[in-house]
Amino acid sequence: PEGWDNQLDNEVIVNMSYVDYFRAYMNDYINWVTYYGADLGTLHINGSMGTTIKFGWNVSKDYDFTKIEPLPRAKGAKSYRLYGILGCEGTWVLYNALIDGSMFNDGHSIKSKEYLGEFFTGVTIETHNIELTTMYTIRSQEFYWQEHPSKFGAVSVAYKW
């Protein structure tokens, strides 16, 4: 199978990412973090900054605000947690290979938008070794001619041992 009519050719992707976090406020009920970061490589070239706040009961003290967590964190000292998550992020996009096309080959491309905004909200419930997180994200249009913002949800379940 050849995929979509305008599928990009296969090529090696090399990208470096940097993120720095600053804790704005923290207690047992609130964990507020701001951050900035950048990506540089053949997939993305961009800069971003944002803020996220966790609020609830036995809120985790980490800096981890990933929307879909790739690996669960080690088991924490608290055995029960319940908290909400609110966040927003702005991104300045210089290049996005998935929209702008290949950096090295001619092919199909469209023009990506230079500035993106994202808002996300969710809930985490943790009991003993099991963590359940639901997230909902609204992302502004990533390219011209995109009629509506992207909206999607995610559910992650983690077992910690």
pLDDT digit string, tens, across residues 61-97: 776 655 554 444 555 545 788 999 999 999 999 999 8
> Strands across the sheet with 130-139, in order?
15-26, 30-41, 44-57, 80-96, 115-127, 130-139, 150-159
pLDDT of residue 60: 78
What's the CA gap between 100 and 115, in Å, rounded? 14
- pLDDT of 1 above 70: no
Residue ranges making up the domain that contains 88 = 18-159
Establish if 13 belongs to a structural domain. Answer: no
Establish if 7 belongs to a structural domain. Answer: no
Query: Is the pLDDT higher at 2 or at 36?
Result: 36
Which CATH number belongs to the domain containing residue 53 in this structure? 2.40.128.140
pLDDT of residue 55: 95
